[in-house]
């Protein structure tokens, strides 16, 4: 292999960065969020509802003295609500310089994905929730839907959350 | 379930009759034109049969049917096995050939063969129209618009749909499709097949959303995914019927731009839609449904 070719292949490898994704389940689908945005994963604790809160807000929890708003992820993704089980978790994430919690059915694992393994989702549908999808990836014969947490809420909604 | 299927078949028949009737409307006889100015109530009361009787298409269809009886269609029932995993020819390899690799002798041969003269003359004489200036997209002529061609028929909720074999990308078994949030109802999801991601369309919901009630949807039993050309799009199908060689006159072609770009024509003896696959792909990529919403 010539030096030029070797350099070219090295350049490709550098661009093909490996990212870690925390995967969780909602309904029967698996979703992934960037590990860099995940602060911690909590067992389900009582979520105190807030009167007059937007529909996507389930309520608030007390996390070591800090109030954290918890988002109803199922409602946000257009899924039917489900009961709380032993596997239910609250994933504490940082997005748009705010710390919030997202309620998920269960947390699965941390996976490593190369950028080249991520495909764009088909660009159909004008629904607001279609924007959450950052990409899709084939993970051991199962489709992993990668979520862009920054787009989970609109700018106005992020501003609204700051008031909590 | 059989009752609901029969009902859906009946619905489909009327749906296709409406389709046929709608296309024929501009060609109606003068008395039919008069009927178009009737008040709405009277118009609705007018039986479908009388409209169809006026339609010149039926006469053509009858003539064709007579012709078919004397000279049977050369129908070839291809086994479905041939259709499975149809190898897709990719031209990528061809592109990797560089000019440098061609020997000088071949290069000179190629150069002598190139007819350059005509091109410049044509360009000079070219008349600029609104079409050539842009704004209009010229539709590529369909490859199967001359001579006999093969079409495969499949069934969805009692509706028979035909797809030209040359535009059939392959047929896969229907496996689990992962739904994606925020997508239209007709988008079933992404199905994984040998490391490929297939965008699966719920054909019934795409073709006839207004007729898809809960009963019909629950009765659907999709077995196959019909791949559209070389795209990532696949239509769900319940049954594969057969493959038939069609003559040009077996189809009522809809060559002029119309409000249903996905429809290449109507197969006369089966009263079913023949898909314009490339236009359908464009619609799907735009996220448009059959009404192009």
Strand B196-201, strand B187-193: pairing: antiparallel
Task: Tell me the C-alpha distance between B161 and B266, whole Å.
Answer: 9
Q: What is the pLDDT of residue B140?
A: 66
Task: Tell me the C-alpha distance between B211 and B216, whole Å.
Answer: 8
Q: Between B213 and B106, where is the model more confident?
A: B213
Q: Which among B183, B190, B232 is the nearest to A125, CB-wise?
A: B183
Flag whether pLDDT at A34 surpasses 90: yes
Q: Is B232 on the interface with A (CB under 8 A)?
A: yes
The DSSP result for A86-140, as a single string, is: TT-EEEEEEETTEEEEEEESEEEEEEEEEGGGEEPPP-----GGGGGEEEEEEET
Flag whether pLDDT at A121 surpasses 80: yes
A79 contacts B287? CB cut-off 8 A: no
A143 contacts B192? CB cut-off 8 A: yes
The DSSP result for B114-126, as a single string, is: ---HHHHHHHHHP
Which range, A51-60, B69-78, B165-174, is most confident? B165-174
Q: What is the pLDDT of residue B22?
A: 55
Q: Is B257 on the interface with A (CB under 8 A)?
A: no
The candidate with the shortest Cα–Cα distance to A68, out of A108, A41, A28, is: A41
Q: What is the pLDDT of residue B8?
A: 60
pLDDT class of B194 with cuts at 50, 70, 90: confident
Task: Tell me the C-alpha distance between B218 and A163, whole Å.
Answer: 45
Given strand A89-95, what is the order of strands in its sheet?
A: A38-43, A89-95, A98-104, A66-71, A57-63
Distance from CA of B293 to the nearest CA of A (A): 11
Torsion of CA B153, B155, B160, B163, to 10 degrees: -40
Q: What is the pLDDT of residue A17?
A: 87
Q: What is the pLDDT of residue B12?
A: 61
Q: What is the pLDDT of residue A52?
A: 82
Q: Summarize pLDDT for B137-160 with one digit per residue, the tens.
A: 455 677 888 899 999 999 999 899
Q: Which residues contact B26 (CB under 8 A, 6 or more apart)?
A: none
Spatial contact of B48 and B21, defined as CB atoms under 8 Å apart = yes
The chain A residue lying nearest B198, using CA atoms, is A122
Q: Is B181 on the interface with A (CB under 8 A)?
A: yes
The chain A residue lying nearest B183, using CA atoms, is A125
Length of chain A: 164
Task: Tell me the C-alpha distance between B86 and A72, whole Å.
Answer: 45
Q: What is the pLDDT of residue B143?
A: 81
The candidate with the shortest Cα–Cα distance to A120, out of A132, A102, A133, is: A133
Q: Find the range with the poorest average confidence among A65-69, B114-118, B216-220.
A: B114-118
Phi and psi at B98, nearest 5°, equal -100, 155
Distance from CA of B190 to the nearest CA of A (A): 8
Phi and psi at B89, nearest 5°, equal -85, 125
Q: Is B175 on the interface with A (CB under 8 A)?
A: no
Q: What is the pLDDT of residue A41?
A: 96
Flag whether pLDDT at A91 surpasses 90: yes
Q: Find the range with the poorest average confidence among A30-39, A118-127, A137-146, B141-150.
A: A118-127
Distance from CA of A157 to the nearest CA of B (A): 18
Flag whether pLDDT at A84 surpasses 60: yes
Flag whether pLDDT at A36 surpasses 90: yes
DSSP-based three-state secondary structure for B89: coil
B179 contacts A133? CB cut-off 8 A: no
Q: What is the pLDDT of residue B9?
A: 63
Instruction: Find the mean pLDDT for residues B178-188.
Output: 90
The chain B residue lying nearest A120, using CA atoms, is B197
Q: Summarize pLDDT for B59-116 with one digit per residue, the tens.
A: 444 544 454 444 444 444 444 444 444 444 444 444 444 444 444 444 444 444 445 5
Task: Tell me the C-alpha distance between B61 and B272, whole Å.
Answer: 13
Phi-psi region of B147 (alpha: psi -120 to 50; beta: other; left: phi over 0): left
């Amino acid at each position: 292999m010539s030096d030029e070719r070797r350099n070219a292949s090295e350049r490709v490898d550098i661009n093909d960065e490996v990212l870690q994704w925390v995967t969780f389940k909602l309904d029967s689908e698996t979703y992934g969020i960037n590990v860099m945005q995940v602060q911690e994963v909590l067992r389900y604790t009582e979520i105190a509802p807030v009167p007059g809160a937007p529909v996507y807000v389930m309520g608030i929890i007390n996390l070591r003295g800090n109030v954290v708003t918890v988002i109803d992820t199922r409602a946000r993704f257009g899924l039917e609500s489900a009961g709380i089980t032993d596997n239910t978790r609250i994933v504490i994430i940082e997005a748009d310089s705010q710390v919030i919690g997202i309620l998920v059915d269960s947390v699965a694992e941390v996976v490593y994905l190369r950028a080249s393994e991520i495909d764009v989702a088909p660009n159909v549908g004008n629904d607001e929730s279609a924007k959450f999808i950052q990409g899709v990836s084939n993970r051991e014969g199962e489709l992993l839907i990668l979520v862009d947490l920054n787009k989970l809420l609109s700018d106005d909604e992020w501003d609204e959350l700051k008031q909590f | 379930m059989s009752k609901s299927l029969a009902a859906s078949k009946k619905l489909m028949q009327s749906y296709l009759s409406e389709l046929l009737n709608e296309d024929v409307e501009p060609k109606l006889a003068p008395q039919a034109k008069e009927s178009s100015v009737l008040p709405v109530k009277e118009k609705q009361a007018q039986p479908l049969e009388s409209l169809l009787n006026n339609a010149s298409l039926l006469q053509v269809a009858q003539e064709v049917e007579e012709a078919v009886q004397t000279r049977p269609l050369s129908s070839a029932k291809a086994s479905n096995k041939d259709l499975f995993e149809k190898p897709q020819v990719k031209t990528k390899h061809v592109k990797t050939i560089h000019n440098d690799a061609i020997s000088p002798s071949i290069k000179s041969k190629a150069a002598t063969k190139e007819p350059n003269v005509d091109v410049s003359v044509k360009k000079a004489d070219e008349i600029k129209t609104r079409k050539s200036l842009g704004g209009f997209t010229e539709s590529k002529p369909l490859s199967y618009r001359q001579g006999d061609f093969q079409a495969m028929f499949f069934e969805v909720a009692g509706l028979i749909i035909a797809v030209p074999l040359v535009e059939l990308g392959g047929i896969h078994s229907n496996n689990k499709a992962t739904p994606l949030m925020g997508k239209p109802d007709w988008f079933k999801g992404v199905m994984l097949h040998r490391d490929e991601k297939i965008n699966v369309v719920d054909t019934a919901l795409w073709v006839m959303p207004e007729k898809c009630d809960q009963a019909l949807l629950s009765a659907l039993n999709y077995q196959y995914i019909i791949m559209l050309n070389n795209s990532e799009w696949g239509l769900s199908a319940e049954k594969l019927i057969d493959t038939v060689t069609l003559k040009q006159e077996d189809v009522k072609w809809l060559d002029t731009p119309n409000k249903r770009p996905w429809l290449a024509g109507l197969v006369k003896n089966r009263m079913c839609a023949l898909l314009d696959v490339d236009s359908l792909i464009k619609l799907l990529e735009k996220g448009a449904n059959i009404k192009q919403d």
